[in-house]
Amino acid sequence: MIPPAFDYARPTSLDEAVRTLAEAGEDAKVLAGGQSLLPLLRLRLAFPELVVDVGRIPGLRGVREDGDTLVIGALTTHHEVIQDPLVRRHAGLLAHATETVADPAVRHRGTLGGSLAHADPAGDLPAVVLALEAELVAVGPGGRRTIPAREFFADYLQSTLAPDELLVEIRVPKRDGWGFHYEKFHRVAQSWAMVGVAALVRRDDGHIAEARIALTNMGATPLRAPAAEEALTGAGDAAAVARAAQSAAEGTRPSRDASASPEYRAHLARVLTKRAVLAATGMG
Amino acid sequence: MTHISVTVDGTTYEDEVEPRLLLVHYLRDRLGLTGTPIGCDTSNCGACTVELDGASVKSCTVLAVQADGGEVTTVQGLARDGEWTALQCAFHERHALQCGYCTPGMIMAARDLLRENPHPTSDEVRKGLEGNLCRCTGYQNIVRAVLAVAEGETAPAGQAASAREVTA
């Protein structure tokens, strides 16, 4: 399958990229690693006039520390995220969940920023940054803007980035000492998650002191599961976790597709929340 | 049209390409390197896997313009002076293929896997090759072939030579 024709720009600086996007308006698409955009182009589900390849803009790749925060460049590939010692030490959930994204060849090209900006509710990493309460930094003609993860995902395949804004970095608060796990259910290797659950748990004296649960593919955007988070607080054994996980799908409106009904997705959310929390706490 | 300069299997090419041209089409249709097949065209099957700047990629999911300035290795660039690599010999010896369609991608993905993890377990081989589909073998012999290379059980030269005569 051959993508539709488009014009191509490869800006060499952030300023040039923002200027190019601002001039092109709604008809431009940003290309980073291309692992989400190229399949859309090949299937002719997207028809951009202009593809702006930001893949070679310097300074947007790599991980650094900024006090209690990790700053991950938007162009950092999944493979680099998985390997990075800072990510592994301070944001284990992100490294662990990224290992489950697609397959090694896709992870060599695909970027963290790209998969977040793509805003696919079936993608694994949107739920992960929601659970981590990360902040996303965008640059546009008006300068830099910091967007909390909970305000970043607007709708199905839609972020709150303006057409002339570029996601440049992801700021992840360090979560040393928190237990974590990402549990997803999918039919075959490298298929999209039917449902996924990101669990981040702080324990205190054998009990759950604080739990963050975020759901993949349980609606048009990734979602937190506040009812389950509240019910998990204070849980001290596997039975209590199992009871709390029963409220994981509360308030969600999952879709129906060829893989699953909304009822089945709700069932999966409950089961996977239990599994994820048990794995995160070591109570299982 | 966009100008690109790309090195493929040791030869540098200068070309004018449409931005929408996929790397796999560039390799096959422009350079005639048909050793890299197109399988699913949906980024799933991995048959078109090549190496770009030292890492495996699905060449149906990379634009030729993205490879500008880069170095590509295809399955056709592996043998040296007519001598197969250990991985190629192992695939032959262990009968790691039937129809052979997935083989170029399997070999490129397995190369990548062994570079990162020179002594994988059987499970790690399966996990490392999860982006490559084979509809003939049930994967058993593919995994055996990769493990054989990891364990240093490379092909006796005579067998590899006779295999080349058959395919020549």
Question: Hey, where are the domains in chain A?
Answer: 7-53, 63-173, 180-281
Does residue A44 belong to the interface with chain B, where contact is any CB pair within 8 Å? no
Contact (CB, 8 A) for A229 and A222: no
Instruction: Report the largest interatomic distance among the alpha carbons of chain A, rounded to a whole angstrom.
Output: 60
Return the number of CB contacts < 8 Å for A and B.
81
What are the DSSP calls for chain B, one per residue?
-EEEEEEETTEEEEEEE-TT-BHHHIIIIIS--TTS----SSS-S-TTEEEETTEEEEGGGSBGGGGTT-EEE-GGG--BTTBPPHHHHHHHHTT--SS-TTHHHHHHHHHHHHHH-SS--HHHHHHHTTT---SSSTTHHHHHHHHHHHTT-PPPHHHHHHHHHHH-
Work out the pLDDT band at B163, boundaries 50, 70, 90: very low
Examine the pLDDT at B168 and tell me if it is beyond 50.
Answer: no
Q: How many domains does chain B have?
A: 2
Least CA distance to B125: which residue of chain A? A104
Contact (CB, 8 A) for B51 and B57: yes
- CATH assignment, A180-281: 3.30.390.50
Amino acid at site A80: E
Of B77, B110, B127, the residue at which a domain comes to its end is B77
Query: Which range of residues forms the domain containing residue B150?
Result: 86-167
Of B77, B103, B133, the residue at which a domain comes to its end is B77
Q: Which CATH class is domain A63-173?
A: alpha beta
Q: Which of A111, A9, A113, A118 is nearest to A53 (CA)?
A: A9
B71 and B94 together in one domain? no
Tokens of residue B153, six digits: 């059980």
B69 and B91 together in one domain? no
Does residue A99 belong to the interface with chain B, where contact is any CB pair within 8 Å? no
Work out the pLDDT band at B162, boundaries 50, 70, 90: very low
How many C-beta atoms surround the C-beta of residue B7 within 10 A? Answer: 16
What are the DSSP calls for chain A, one per residue?
--PPP-EEE--SSHHHHHHHHHHHGGGEEEESS-TTHHHHHHTT----SEEEE-TT-TTSSSEEEETTEEEEETT-BHHHHHH-HHHHHH-HHHHHHHTTSS-HHHHHH-BHHHHHHHT-TTSHHHHHHHHTT-EEEEEETTEEEEEEGGGTEEETTEES--TT-EEEEEEEE--TT-EEEEEEE-SSTTSPPSEEEEEEEEEETTEEEEEEEEEESSSSS-EE-HHHHHHHTT--SHHHHHHHHTTTTTT------SS--HHHHHHHHHHHHHHHHHHHHT--
**Topology given in CATH for the domain delimited by A7-53:** 3.30.43
Contact between chains at B66 and A55 (C-beta distance less than 8 A) = yes
Partners of B2 on chain A (C-beta within 8 Å) are: 8
pLDDT at B167: 45
Instruction: Report the largest interatomic distance among the alpha carbons of chain B, rounded to a whole angstrom.
Output: 49
Contact between chains at A106 and B56 (C-beta distance less than 8 A) = no
B37 and B104 together in one domain? no
B90 and B160 together in one domain? yes
Examine the pLDDT at B166 and tell me if it is beyond 50.
Answer: no
pLDDT at B154: 67
Partners of B66 on chain A (C-beta within 8 Å) are: 31, 34, 53, 55
pLDDT at A25: 87
Query: Distance from CA of residue A266 to its chain's centroid?
Result: 20
SS (H, E, C) A143-163: EEEEEEHHHCEEECCEECCCC
Cα A155 to Cα B21: distance, rounded to the nearest angstrom: 31
Q: Domain holding B113: CATH number?
A: 1.10.150.120
Q: Domain holding B52: CATH number?
A: 3.10.20.30
- From A271's Cα to the closest Cα of chain B, the distance in A is 24
Contact between chains at A104 and B58 (C-beta distance less than 8 A) = no
What are the DSSP calls for A22-76, one per residue?
HHHGGGEEEESS-TTHHHHHHTT----SEEEE-TT-TTSSSEEEETTEEEEETT-
Residues of B engaging A, defined by a Cβ cutoff of 8 Å: 2, 18-20, 22, 25, 41-44, 46, 49, 55-58, 60-63, 65-66, 109, 112-113, 128, 130-132
Examine the pLDDT at B159 and tell me if it is beyond 60.
Answer: no
B140-150 and B103-116 helices, crossing angle to 10°: 40
pLDDT beneath 70, residues of chain A: none
B34 and B73 together in one domain? yes
Residue-wise pLDDT for B68-119, tens only, equals: 999 999 999 999 999 999 999 999 999 999 999 999 999 999 999 999 999 9
- From A163's Cα to the closest Cα of chain B, the distance in A is 21
Contact (CB, 8 A) for B18 and B53: no
Partners of A38 on chain B (C-beta within 8 Å) are: 22, 43, 60-63
Does residue A47 belong to the interface with chain B, where contact is any CB pair within 8 Å? no
Least CA distance to A79: which residue of chain B? B55
Rounded to a whole number, what is the distance in angstroms from the first to the last CA of chain B? 38
Amino acid at site A203: R
**What percentage of chain B reaches a pLDDT higher than 90?**
86
Work out the pLDDT band at B42, boundaries 50, 70, 90: confident
Residues whose CB falls within 8 Å of the CB of residue B138, separated by 6 or more in sequence, listed in order: none
B31 and B96 together in one domain? no
Cα A280 to Cα A199: distance, rounded to the nearest angstrom: 7
B55 and B90 together in one domain? no
Does residue A7 belong to the interface with chain B, where contact is any CB pair within 8 Å? yes
Q: Which residue do the tokens 């003939």 mark?
A: B136
Of the CA atoms within 13 Å of residue A194, those in its CB half-sphere come to 21
- From B58's Cα to the closest Cα of chain A, the distance in A is 6
- Cα distances (angstroms) measured from residue A222 to each of A119, A122, A155, A196, A267: 9, 8, 9, 10, 17
Tokens of residue A15, six digits: 């300023």
- From A67's Cα to the closest Cα of chain B, the distance in A is 32
- From A40's Cα to the closest Cα of chain B, the distance in A is 9
Work out the pLDDT band at B158, boundaries 50, 70, 90: very low
Which chain A residues in 171-210 lie under 8 Å from chain B, judged by CB atoms?
189-190
In degrees and rounded to multiples of 5, residue B35 shows phi and psi of -65, -20
- From B152's Cα to the closest Cα of chain A, the distance in A is 24
- From B27's Cα to the closest Cα of chain A, the distance in A is 14
Of B45, B77, B109, the residue at which a domain comes to its end is B77
Contact between chains at A3 and B22 (C-beta distance less than 8 A) = yes
pLDDT at B155: 56
B28 and B69 together in one domain? yes
Disruptive mutation site among A36, A190, A192 for chain B (greatest number of B CBs within 10 Å): A190
Residue-wise pLDDT for B84-97, tens only, equals: 999 999 999 999 99
**What percentage of chain B reaches a pLDDT higher than 70?**
91
